[in-house]
Amino acid sequence: MEVELKEMLEDLEALKRTLSDPSHHDSIAKLQQHVERISDLAKSVPSRRSKVQDMSAEVVDSNPYSRLMALQRMGIVENYERIREFSVAIVGIGGVGSVAAEMLTRCGIGRLLLYDYDKVELANMNRLFFRPEQSGMTKTDAAVQTLSDINPDVVLESYTLNITTVKGFETFMESLRNQNFRPRNGDGGVDLVLSCVDNYEARMVVNQACNELNQIWMESGVSEDAVSGHIQLLVPGETACFACVPPLIVASGVDERTLKRDGVCAASLPTTMGVVAGLLVQNTLKFLLKFGQVSPYLGYNALKDYFPTMEMKPNLQCSNAACLERQKEYILTKPARDAAAAKAKMEMEASSATEIPIHADNEWNISVDDSYDIEKTDLTSSSDALPEGLTRELPSADEFQILPVPEETSTSIDDLEELRRQLEALNAD
Amino acid sequence: MEGWDPNTKSTLTKIPLLTTKAGPRDGAAWTQRLKDEYKALITYTQMNKSNDNDWFRISAANPEGTRWTGKCWYVHNLLKYEFDLQFDIPVTYPSTAPELELPELDGKTHKMYRGGKICLTVHFKPLWAKNCPRFGIAHALCLGLAPWLAAEVPILVDSGMIKHKDDAASSAGS
């Protein structure tokens, strides 16, 4: 375009010279001004920034990472640049997933894997991220388009598939195992999976995959009425998996009609979705970059601005076989883990003991009473004990218990082909 | 099960319950589960036929038995409305129910998710979860699809969203 405009200017100049009549000169000058303005506009159209080799902490306007690297100077994060080594998989690129993807992209995450089978629609425009002109595109394609413009340093992989189908699940598992980006120990190829899906089936699928791969993941959700949400950290074997606790309406047996009104499509707000995405990515950054406390569960009630937190232990009778496997592994490695923790604690104490006393003299003979310490340790060790009259329904999970194996059901003598033929015969007439 | 009509209840009790808890990735156990599925479907189809209430055809579309296709129909004002029926067995089956699809009705009713997946959230999924692994495809059709058709087809017909195939043919010909 610039070349064309330049040629046009030259043509106008030539025209001006050939015209002897000075009365036309004014209008030609006007045309020249227009062309110059257009070429200015063309120059101001933003160009894509080039990739950045190393994250720099230099404070200049052109450095996309200066504010992030300042986290190190402030003493919040020890080594921010490590973020470029991490891979995060985001399942579901909707109201929460797309915003989470943008946040991680702007933070300079190493690699993002995006999964969705849906298309962008105008009905999505009450949420953040997608633009009206993207409607009709697959959510994965539209996300890659926007994200690669925002930060070309991030390696983006998009998977347009339904993870609940057998074939989609295989591709999903394969992509999570792929270690091309960074070779590492163990099976996994990603550091964290974020579930941002909108239905129970897909959550159960993410749960299945992560339990099988021993992959740490975070679950997120926004309620159908758009005024509450939650995020949850799931460490296979250590915390409750998604199948450990059945949904409320299944467990309590209440009439589900009282919980959901018929025929009303789900509500959504950009605010609630944005808050939940923010909480999710904040927890992700704390987990990856090792700062602050990673929340095992964080709820958000928008109506009362209430943020409950809690921890959930795995269910020994979980219906998910892979979860039970992970629980077994976790219990079996408990002694080693306890020993390591005790050693770390001893070292900490030893290093603090060698420090010089804070007060060299003790003019008033003030001493700390040891008995208080003992009482305190007693209290913590008995905090698991229940008051009299109460018993726990489930056994404690501290020791691994071998559950009785259910008796093998007698294998049917029926032949699958025969059954298929019978059904086809019924279908025929 | 409160709120279900006595007919559906008595039909349900006659469909054999399944015993094997296995999904499509469980190898031999899945084959066993498939046999159970077939037995339940055969009994249910036979029962429907003998009660003059035949309303669907379904068969596995692949040898693994993970994809199923067929037809279902509903009679409203003495006219029969027939739809293609299809669904995949999810990898987490039977912990999660199959998502039954009527692709021809996609976009015609809001009681449906994208791709023509009928909405089962309220009337069926809690029931399925409580009865895992005893419920199978036959139960999903009996408790999920049948009530959906009974509730939605009359509305779709009365609102003009779907037309009987004879009407559609005659109006197209004229």
Q: Minimum mean pLDDT among A277-281, B49-53, B85-89: which range?
A: B49-53
**What is the b/e burial string over A141-164, where b = at least 16 CB atoms within 10 angstroms of the residue's CB?**
bbbbebbeeebbbbebbbbbbbbb
Report percent pLDDT > 90 for chain A: 53
What's the CA gap between A376 and A381, in Å, rounded?
A: 9
As annotated, the active-site residues of B are 119
pLDDT (tens digit per residue) in A154-166: 999 999 999 999 9
Q: How far does chain A reach from its first CA to its final CA, in angstroms?
A: 69
As annotated, the active-site residues of A are 265
What letter does residue A315 receive in the DSSP assignment? P
CA B160, B162, B167: angle at the middle one, nearest 5? 90
Q: Which residue of B30, B46, B59, B95 is the best one to mutate when testing the A interface, meaning the one whose CB has the most A CBs within 10 A? A: B95
pLDDT surpassing 50 at residue B138:
yes
A53, A55, A60, A63: CA torsion to nearest 10 = 60
Residue B98: exposure state from Cβ atoms within 10 A (0-12, 13-18, ≥19): buried
What's the CA gap between A196 and A200, in Å, rounded?
A: 11
Q: Across residues A33-60, what is the average pLDDT?
A: 82
A29 and A71 in a common domain? no
A133 and A15 in a common domain? no
User: How many CB atoms within 10 Å of residue A5?
Assistant: 17
What's the CA gap between A58 and A66, in Å, rounded?
A: 6
Q: Across residues A327-348, what is the average pLDDT?
A: 90
Residue A168: exposure state from Cβ atoms within 10 A (0-12, 13-18, ≥19): buried
Q: Is the residue at A411 inside a domain?
A: no
A282 and A233 in a common domain? yes
Nearest CB neighbour to A426, from listed B34, B45, B129: B45
Write down the pLDDT at residue A35: 86
Q: Across residues B115-123, what is the average pLDDT?
A: 84
Composition of chain B by helix, strand, coil, percent to 5: 40, 15, 40
Chain centroid offset of residue A282 CA: 9
Q: Say which CATH number the domain at A289 has.
A: 3.40.50.720
A91 and A67 in a common domain? no
Instruction: Please say whether the beta carbons of B47 and B146 come within 8 A.
Output: no
**What is the b/e burial string over A255-286, where b = at least 16 CB atoms within 10 angstroms of the residue's CB?**
ebeeeeeeeeeeebbeebbbbbbbbbbbbbbb
A98 and A75 in a common domain? no
Q: C-alpha distances in angstroms, A1 versus A4, A9, A15, A31, A39?
A: 5, 13, 21, 17, 8
A171 and A98 in a common domain? yes
Nearest CB neighbour to A424, from listed B59, B64, B132: B59
What's the CA gap between A345 and A348, in Å, rounded?
A: 5
Write down the pLDDT at residue A141: 96
What's the CA gap between B152 and B72, in Å, rounded?
A: 14
Q: Which A residues, 15 through 54, put their C-beta within 8 Å of a C-beta on chain B?
A: none
pLDDT grade for A307, boundaries at 50, 70 and 90: very high
pLDDT (tens digit per residue) in A322-334: 999 999 999 999 8
Check if the interface score ipTM surpasses 0.90: no
Residue A12: exposure state from Cβ atoms within 10 A (0-12, 13-18, ≥19): middle
Q: Which residues pair with A114 in a beta bridge?
A: A90, A158
Q: Across residues A186-212, what is the average pLDDT?
A: 92
Residue A414 main-chain phi, psi, to 5 deg? -65, 150
A283 and A160 in a common domain? yes
What's the CA gap between A127 and A250, in Å, rounded?
A: 30
The token pair at B93 is 């089956």
Q: Across residues A334-354, what is the average pLDDT?
A: 84
A333 and A291 in a common domain? yes
pLDDT (tens digit per residue) in A69-81: 999 999 999 999 9
Write down the pLDDT at residue A128: 95
Write down the pLDDT at residue B174: 44
Q: Is the residue at A277 inside a domain?
A: yes
How close B38 comes to chain A (CA, Å)?
A: 6
Q: Is the residue at A307 inside a domain?
A: yes
* Residue among A428, A66, A173 at smallest CA distance from B25: A173
pLDDT grade for B136, boundaries at 50, 70 and 90: very high
Which structural domain, as residue segments, surrounds residue A37? 2-44
pLDDT surpassing 70 at residue A356:
no
Q: Which residue of A162, A166, A205, A320 is the best one to mutate when testing the B interface, meaning the one whose CB has the most B CBs within 10 A? A: A166
pLDDT (tens digit per residue) in A110-121: 999 999 999 999
pLDDT (tens digit per residue) in A372-406: 555 444 444 455 677 777 776 665 555 555 555 55
Highest mean pLDDT out of A192-196, A348-352, B1-5:
A192-196
Pick the residue with more confidence: B114 or A98?
Answer: A98
Write down the pLDDT at residue B173: 45
Write down the pLDDT at residue A403: 53
Report percent pLDDT > 70 for chain A: 84
Q: C-alpha distances in angstroms, A103 versus A12, A128, B37, B117?
A: 49, 12, 46, 32
pLDDT surpassing 60 at residue A412:
no
Write down the pLDDT at residue A381: 47
Q: Is the residue at A28 inside a domain?
A: yes
A-chain CB neighbours of B43 within 8 Å are none
Residue A217 main-chain phi, psi, to 5 deg? -145, 165
Q: Which amino acid is at B132?
A: C
8 Å CB contact of B88 and A414: no
A199 and A94 in a common domain? yes
8 Å CB contact of A262 and B122: yes
**3-state SS track over B93-153:** CCCCCCCCECHHHCCCCCCEECCCEECCCCCCHHHHHHCCCCCCHHHHHHHHHHHHHHHHH
Whole-model pTM: value is 0.79
pLDDT grade for A188, boundaries at 50, 70 and 90: confident
pLDDT surpassing 80 at residue A369:
no
Q: Mean pLDDT for chain A?
A: 85
Q: Is the residue at A198 inside a domain?
A: yes
Q: Is the residue at A232 inside a domain?
A: yes
Backbone φ/ψ region at A41: left (φ over 0), alpha (ψ -120 to 50), beta: alpha
Chain centroid offset of residue A62 CA: 28
pLDDT (tens digit per residue) in A222-255: 998 899 999 999 999 999 999 998 776 555 555 5
pLDDT (tens digit per residue) in A87-104: 999 999 999 999 999 999
Q: Is the residue at A11 inside a domain?
A: yes
Domain count, chain A: 3
Nearest CB neighbour to A419, from listed B2, B25, B42: B42
A200 and A146 in a common domain? yes
Give residues with Cβ within 8 angstroms of B109, minimum separation 6. Answer: B152, B155, B156, B161
Look at the alpha carbons of A163, A166, A167, A170 in this order and tell me if their dihedral is positive or negative.
positive
A92 and A222 in a common domain? yes
A313 and A190 in a common domain? yes
Establish if A211 touches chain B: CB-CB under 8 angstroms.
no
Q: Is the residue at A220 inside a domain?
A: yes
